Amino acid sequence: MGDLTTERSNPTGTAPVLVASNRGPVSFSTAEDGTLALRRGGGGLVSGLSAIGDPDAVWVCAALGDADRRAAREAPDGRLDRAGHDVGGQAVRMLDIDPETFARAYNGVANSTLWFVHHLLYATPTAPAFGAAFRTEWQAYTAYNAAFAEALAAEAAPGAAVLVQDYHLSLAPALLRAARPDLRIGHFSHTPWAPPEYFRLLPDDVAESVLTGILGADRAAFLTRRWALAFAECCAAVLGAEVDREALTVTHAGRTTRLGVHGLGADADFLRERAHRPDVEERLAALREAVGDRRTVVRVDRTELSKNIVRGFQAYRHLLRTRPEWHDRVVHIAFAYPSRTDLAEYRDYTARVRELAAEINTEFGTDSWQPLILHVNDDFPRSLAAYRLADVALVNPIRDGMNLVAKEVPVVSDRGCALVLSREAGAHAELGEDALSVNPYDVIATADALHTGLTMAADERADRTKRLAAAATALPPQQWFLDQLDALR
Ligand code: F6P
C-alpha cells in the first residue's frame, strides 16, 4: 500500500467525478485460446454514470477473479480503458488486490459479517463468534478499503465528487477524507441498515469504525428513510453522536454528515424495449408451452439467504395442501440464480431450495402437471419473459435494501400482475399500497396472499399494476445518480 499522505500534498488526478464499488461495470474470463474475454454488466450505477457523459469520470473497482487480476495487472495503473478494453466509453481502474486479502475482506467481513448484520441473518445461539480469525479478516478489510482510498486519491481532480458504494467500502470515506480533504465524498448503502441492538453484535471497535468510516463522507445516502434512520440510531447508540431526525443529519467529533434518501427505481425505457426482443419472445413461448392455460406465480432472485426462497416454497406448498382447487391450475416458476457460491451457507441454502422444489413436485405433480419449475442458471431474457407472463409475483425477502424485481415486474407485465411483497423490502415504502403485503416469516399468511393474488379480478389487477409501475419508475437510475451528485455540490 502506498503512502496516503503523498496524495494529500500533491493531488495529480484529473477525474472530476468518481465512483467506487467492489464489483465494477466489467468482468473478465479467460477464453479457450488464453485471451481475455470481457463481459459488461448492467444495473443502476452503469446507467447512472453514463448519464453524466463525462469521459474523465473514473470508476474504481476490485478485480474479483484471476482473469480480472490479469487484466488489471496488464493495464497501465490498472486503467482498463488505457489498455484498449471496450469498457463502454468509461474510464475504469480495476484494483489488483492480493487474493487472500480480497477473499478475507469480501467473503469474511463484507458478505459473512456486515451483510448478515444488516439483513438480520444470524442464528444467534451459535453465530456470530468474533475470534482471532475474524480479527485477521478485519485487518484485510481495512487494507482493502485503504487500497480503494489510495486509488481514489490518486485519480481525483482537486475538489472532485466521489461516490463510494456499499458495505464493502464503509471505511473508505474517512480514509479518503484524511488523504484528500478537498474532495466531496458521498457514501451510498444499497443494503438495509441494522437496528442498533442488532448492529451491536459487532465488536465495539468494529461497530465504531464502520460508523465513523461512513461519517467520513459529506453525505451518507440510503434507499429508504427507514434505513437512513436506522443508521442515525446506530450513530447515536454506538458513538453518542448528535442526531437530527427531521433534518437527517449526524454530528460527531465536530463534523456533520448529511443523510440522504434516494429510492432507486426501475429503468422503464430499457425494460420495455428489452422485454420485447426476439430472445425474450422465444423464451416466453417456451414458458407458455410449459405452463399451458394455468395461472402462474413467478419469483426471480439471486440464491441469496435474505431472499427467503425456502419460506416462499413452503407457502406455495401450504397453498396446494390447503386449497386443492389449485391442483393442476397453477404453476410456480422460480428462477434462483447462483450467488456467492464461495460461502458454505449459500451452497447449503441452494441445496435446500432444490430439495424443497423436488419435494413439492413429488408431493403434488402428475404426469401432465409440474407444479414448480425451478431454474438455477442465470438467464436475463428468460427472467423478462417470466415477468411478462406472471399472474402473481412473489417477492418475500427477510429484509432487502430495495428489491428491484418488485419494481421491474409491474413495468413489463403483459396482462397485469398481483404483487405479493414483503413488508421488510425497501420497495415496500413505495409499492406497499398496491401490493399484497406479507410478513416474510409467516408462511400461512404468505400462502393466503398468493391465493388472494391468484383470484384477484383482472381489472383490479390491471389498475394496481398501472399504479405500481408508476411508483416503481418514479426515480430512474440516471436521475437517481444525478440527484446524488447534485446533492453533494
Ligand atoms: O444489494 C447490495 C449489493 O451490493 C448490490 O448492490 C448488488 O447487486 C449485490 O449486493 C451484489 O452482491 P455480489 O457482488 O456479492 O454478488
Q: Are residues 214 and 280 in the same domain?
A: no
CA of 458 to the centre of ligand 1 (A): 35
Nearest Cα to Cα of residue 148 among 100, 102, 202, 205: 102
Nearest Cα to Cα of residue 295 among 333, 259, 321: 333
- Torsion over CA: 199, 200, 203, 206 (sign): positive
- Nearest atom (ligand 1) to Cα of 190: 2
Q: Are residues 425 and 453 in the same domain?
A: yes
CA of 346 to the centre of ligand 1 (A): 14
Question: What gap in Å lies between CA 330 and CA 349, rounded to an integer?
Answer: 25
CA of 303 to the centre of ligand 1 (A): 12
Range of the domain at 368: 268-472
Overall pTM > 0.95: yes
Burial class (CB within 10 angstroms; exposed 0-12, middle 13-18, buried 19+) of 354: middle
What own/partner pairs with CB < 8 Å and gap ≥ 24 does 286-292 have? 286/385, 287/333, 287/382, 287/385, 287/386, 287/389, 288/389, 290/331, 290/370, 290/373, 291/331, 291/333, 291/389
Q: Are residues 295 and 241 in the same domain?
A: no
pLDDT for position 363: 98
Q: What is the CB < 6 Å shell around ligand 1?
A: 23, 111, 166, 190-191, 339-340, 401
CA of 187 to the centre of ligand 1 (A): 15
CB 168, CB 22: distance < 8 Å: yes
Among protein residues, the one with the nearest Cα to ligand 1's atom 14 is 23
236: CATH = 3.40.50.2000
Cell 398496491, residue located: 434
Cell numbers representing residue 55 in the block: 469521459
CA of 133 to the centre of ligand 1 (A): 24
* 190, 337, 399: residue to mutate for ligand 1 pocket, most atoms within 8 A of CB: 190
Q: Are residues 213 and 325 in the same domain?
A: no
Q: Are residues 332 and 351 in the same domain?
A: yes
Q: Are residues 129 and 203 in the same domain?
A: yes
Domain count along the chain: 2
- For residue 242, what is the enclosing H or E element? strand 242-244
Q: Are residues 232 and 292 in the same domain?
A: no
Q: Are residues 184 and 289 in the same domain?
A: no
pLDDT for position 44: 81
- Nearest atom (ligand 1) to Cα of 339: 16
Question: What gap in Å lies between CA 407 and CA 411, rounded to an integer?
Answer: 7
Query: 10: Cβ–Cβ under 8 A, 6 or more apart, which residues?
Result: none
Q: Are residues 238 and 386 in the same domain?
A: no
Q: Are residues 288 and 220 in the same domain?
A: no
Q: How far, in Å, are 38, 165, 484 from residue 169 at the CA level?
A: 25, 6, 17
CB 64, CB 23: distance < 8 Å: yes
pLDDT tens digits for the chain (489 residues)?
A: 444 544 454 568 999 999 999 999 999 999 999 999 999 988 888 888 888 888 899 999 999 999 999 999 999 999 999 999 999 888 999 999 999 999 999 999 999 999 999 999 999 999 999 999 999 999 999 999 999 999 999 999 999 999 999 999 999 999 999 999 999 999 999 999 999 999 999 999 999 999 999 999 999 999 999 999 999 999 999 999 999 999 999 999 999 999 999 999 999 999 999 999 999 999 999 999 999 999 999 999 999 999 999 999 999 999 999 999 999 999 999 999 999 999 999 999 999 999 999 999 999 999 999 999 999 999 999 999 999 999 999 999 999 999 999 999 999 999 999 999 999 999 999 999 999 999 999 999 999 999 999 999 999 999 999 999 999 999 999 999 999 999 998
Q: Are residues 167 and 283 in the same domain?
A: no
pLDDT for position 432: 98
Q: Are residues 100 and 222 in the same domain?
A: yes
